[in-house]
A and B are shown apart, each in its own frame.
Chain A
Amino acid sequence: MSNFFEKTDLSRKEAENIISDTLQKCDDGELYLENSKSESILLDDDKIKNSSYNSDLGFGFRAISDEIVAYSHSNEISKNSLKQSSENLKSTLKSSKGTYNHLIPKSNKKYYENINPIEQKSLNEKIKILNDVNKYLRSKDDNVKQVTANFLGEQKSIEIIRSGGETLSDIRPLIRFNVSVMLEKNGRKETGIYGVGGRQSYDSYLKDDNWKNVCDEALRIASVNLESKPAPAGEMKVVLGPGWPAILIHEAVGHGLEGDFNRKKTSAFHNLMGQKVASEGVTIIDDGTIDNKRGSLTIDDEGTPTEKTVLIENGILKNFMQDRLNARLMNTRSTGSGRRENFRHIVLPRMRNTMMLSGKQTQDEMIKSVDKGIFAVSFGGGQVDITSGKFVFNCTEAYEIVNGKIGSPIKGATLVGDGPSILKEVSMVGNDMMLDPGIGTCGKAGQGVPVGVAQPSILINKMTVGGTKL
């Protein structure tokens, strides 16, 4: 564990006094301390292009009065710096008349181990694997023109000190291993990307030459795309494959169920609590408690233990995801969803691992039921407009469906739809729920946080596919 006050002119006791003094007339707030170490090793264009290491240290001091948040952060953990931040918060909240809420739930459960993944594998071993990836892919297919592979590892230690001196802490490991391969054939270039990761050591994901499976998958996607033809344009049925395509649920529905947008009534879902927002059979949860998953957290960034939050149960909207601020203003409790990218950012209610649970149908039944449509297996980026509810997705692997059979691969298809109505268009839910491989990062208000998604295959009755073939 990091001792944040070692080698500073500030003792823990002095810090606690400044915190309690600053927050005495506030409703909530805390000092958040963070020390993170991260590495990135990149192979690109036949060479180790980059090996870098980052060490980041700082604090963020937050005071909340009613709806107003005052925040100040700095890299310098010192008496002067904390006092300056305190003055800053006090000047914003000069007329504050709140009562500090000391209540914070406790739990002893942990969802990952206190390890530093960076130290668990030597630089030479990592470089060797990256070079092996490059050789393996280039020898496997003559059309391979470019290989990029990288390791990203991180250990983040956090400590939260609340008014009165209550302290909560967590140590979070996180790794990612990615492979991208570009093929060129008859003047045409296509890329395939795949990766794995989560809150364990590199070896947990790469042992027994598992890196070869990652390479094979990236190569398979690129090869499929090399044979792809232009995507159709217009409204049609869409079958989504299991696992990573759930990122569509994350964008289309998940963001609209975050507490802040609903308190501010800017979400298309804000007045739909208790109402039917999805087809029967659709259940969506947001779960921070799955062991070692990328989106899991032992405690959130306000110190609240995470949980499994039911968002939509059998089609009915049950809960929003809440941090402490939005929960208080909406007269409910935090769901342990208060997250921030790092100490430079304020806390926002965010997703963890967002999952649609399995139903009864098979993927086969879905495909067979479609006369004309597309089968989307993997997506690149997506984005949503919370207010209008409209969202888009770019398919990175998709096929046309003709008369109940999977046909040719199609390229560059964009799916566009409406968040609040998309779940009502779900007409079949598969029995094959799968977690994504651990590669997702969600962006909101300029903050990126690691997340996970999961879903079974689903059939959506009607979506707009944006291709070039009319």
Chain B
Amino acid sequence: MVKDQEFLTQKASYCLDLAKKLGATDSNVVVNNSVSETVNFRNKKLDESNRSDNLGIKITTFIGKKKSSISSSNLLNENLNILIEKCVETTKNTPEDEFNSLPDKDLLAKKIKDLDLYDDTHIENDQKIDYLKRLETSASYDKKIINTESSFTQNKSNFILANSEGFCNGYKTSSFTTSCVAVAKDEKSMERDYEYSSKCFLKDVNDAEELGKLAADQTIRKLSPKKIGSEKIVIIFDKRIAKGILSTFASAISSSAISRGTSFLKDKVNQKIFSDKINIFDKPDMLKGLGSRNFDSEGVESNTLKLVNQGILKHYLIDTYNGKKLNLKSNGRCGGTSNLYFENGNISYKDLLNSNSKSLYITETIGHGSNIVTGDYSVGAAGFLVENGELRYPINEITIAGNFKDMFQNITLANDLEFKFATNSPTMMIDGMVVAGK
């Protein structure tokens, strides 16, 4: 079982005390433990079982404006003694940085809300096996499906974050994740696709048959893809791709990219970077939210932020260090966003597909083609040609390219937002991008 609060707290205070004794003026420590159990299936048979028990500790020590850190998975006191001594020594030898410090005491989280993030239920491997059998049977309903792989993971985690200003908090979280990858084949091609679900509570996990069927359908429809010519065309991003565009936006407004001057969104606060209809929220206190939290990785309270209001950028994502550099207060975003989402648009999914006589519906992108310095975007893609609101045929081996500065101004969102991941977007349409094909 996952270690309790008492064990983690005791380790944390041991480290803080020792660091102080050895000469640290401030220190910060996080101790975590997670236990996860996974069962993998392949072609309706057990393929792998995996139990993982992870302990970890990370200590940061400050001497005035000097800072250094160590981390370890060995929590025996005699090992911690050696490491903390090394950490304090390294701190002494590291040059000062005027912006190094713990967070301001008045910004630290005071109240810990119960966000319903922990389910004590335990699912035995035999029950997971039963679920995966049903899932893969459902996924194999068509003879074009030649291979299925699926998995079920239960994860229970606990952590304590403590610092020398007296902050000491943490809580348990749980997740139950199921997924299915299917491979389909016809005379001309072999294709792969997937479906996935992750929930805090076991009782909320998606129905096995439904998940398997969806994975199979999404794979079969990709068979016998065609290439298309190079042209400017309206692009519609499936939700699972659209959320990636939102993540890129988040990295471009992180205070580290802003303070280093390596973001195309530097100095854009209070400017219009999206079209009028776009609103973006980051909401840490959603019950059972996959990105929910009470405080960020420095202990700073995280409150809901409306990052973009009617197309206008209102906030960066600020941590203590970069905040001091930019002369801004931390808004509890060290470690990034929580539950980040675009507010729904006012057009249905169907009407979005129907809004042009011809468009391209993208279900997959590959490659690391987002450059947040310049805003350039260029990725390999696969999807479907859409004509008169219908997916006509699959498309493969193309690239799509544009620049986020223009893309953001040309976004239209459907009204089909779901909270499936920590970052979520409705289906997204962007006008004016270039497709390269044959």
Name A's B-contacting residues (CB within 8 A). 7, 44-45, 47-58, 67-76, 81, 85, 88-89, 91-92, 123-124, 127, 145-146, 182, 184, 188-191, 231, 233-235, 264-266, 268, 344, 346, 380-388, 390-394, 411-414, 416-418, 464-468, 470
Contacts and interface: CB of A to CB of B under 8 A. Distances in A.
A380 B402 CA distance: 18
Nearest to B403: A468
A385 B366 contact: yes
A416 B93 contact: no
Given A75-B54, A412-B369, 11 more contacts: A52-B69, A53-B69, A57-B74, A67-B47, A72-B50, A145-B261, A264-B42, A391-B380, A394-B367, A412-B371, A414-B380
A388 B401 contact: no
Interface string B42-81: 1001111111111110000000000111111111101100
B376 interface: yes
Contacts of A383: 366-368, 380
Contact of B366 (A190, A390, A467): A390
A325 to B, nearest CB: 10
A467 B74 contact: no
26 contacts: A50-B69, A51-B90, A53-B70, A53-B86, A54-B71, A55-B74, A55-B83, A57-B72, A71-B51, A75-B73, A76-B53, A85-B51, A92-B49, A182-B262, A182-B373, A233-B401, A266-B192, A344-B54, A346-B48, A381-B367, A411-B374, A416-B380, A418-B397, A464-B397, A465-B399, A467-B434
A468 B401 contact: yes
Contacts of A124: 93
Given A44-B260, A67-B45, A75 B55 contact: yes
Contacts of A392: 366-367, 369, 379-380, 399
A417 B397 contact: yes
Contact of A412 (B52, B79, B146, B376): B376
B147 interface: yes
B410 to A, nearest CB: 14
Nearest to A386: B192
Contact of A91 (B125, B259, B261, B398): B125
Contact of A234 (B53, B55, B78, B230): B230
Nearest to A89: B49
Indicate the member of A189, A382, A393 with the most B CB atoms within 10 Å: A189
Q: Is the interface of B mostly helix, strand, loop or mixed?
A: strand
Contact of A146 (B54, B93, B260): B260
Contact of B380 (A55, A346, A390): A390
Contacts of A346: 48, 50
Contacts of A394: 367-369, 378
A416 B367 CA distance: 9
A92 to B, nearest CB: 4
B55 A470 contact: no
B32 to A, nearest CB: 11
Contacts of A387: 183, 190-192
A385 B397 CA distance: 11
Contacts of A85: 51
A393 B367 contact: yes
B4 interface: no
A45 B399 contact: no
Contacts of B261: 145-146, 182, 184
B50 A464 contact: no
A293 B51 CA distance: 33
Nearest to A55: B72
Contact of A48 (B70, B97, B364): B97
Q: Which of A73, A75, A268, A384 has the most CB of B within 10 A?
A: A75
A45 B259 contact: yes
Contact of B73 (A57, A69, A386, A412): A57
Contacts of A53: 68-71, 83, 86-87, 90
Contacts of B87: 53
Nearest to B45: A67
A123 B72 contact: no
Closest 4 CB pairs of A and B: A466-B399, A392-B380, A381-B368, A233-B436
Contacts of A412: 369, 371, 374, 376, 378, 401
Given A7-B78, A92-B49, A390-B380, A464 B398 contact: yes
Contacts of A48: 94-95, 97
B47 A268 contact: no
B434 A233 contact: yes
A233 B435 CA distance: 8
A414 B378 contact: yes
B73 A58 contact: yes
A412 B232 CA distance: 17
Contacts of B396: 388, 390
B186 interface: no
Nearest to B72: A55
A51 to B, nearest CB: 5
A230 to B, nearest CB: 9
A447 to B, nearest CB: 13
A56 B72 contact: yes
Nearest to A68: B46
Contact of B97 (A49, A88, A146): A49
Contacts of B94: 48, 51, 123, 127
Contacts of A466: 378-380, 398-401, 436
A54 B74 CA distance: 10
A417 B87 CA distance: 48
B203 interface: no
A127 B90 CA distance: 11
A380 B368 contact: yes
B15 to A, nearest CB: 14
Nearest to B376: A412
A383 B435 CA distance: 19
B143 interface: no
A234 B83 CA distance: 55
Contact of B70 (A54, A189, A418): A54
* Centre residue among B52, B87, B438 by max chain A CB count within 10 A: B52
A414 B95 contact: no
A131 to B, nearest CB: 8
B397 A52 contact: no
A68 B48 contact: yes
Nearest to A469: B434
A391 B51 CA distance: 33
B382 interface: yes
Contact of A266 (B50, B93, B147, B369): B147
A381 B403 CA distance: 18
B231 interface: yes
Contacts of B79: 55, 57
Contacts of B56: 75
B437 interface: yes
B189 A468 contact: no
Contact of A233 (B69, B83, B230, B366): B230
Given A88-B49, A127-B95, A470 B69 contact: no
Nearest to B377: A412
Contacts of B225: 388
Contacts of A418: 397
Nearest to B55: A75
Nearest to B42: A264
Contacts of A7: 76, 78
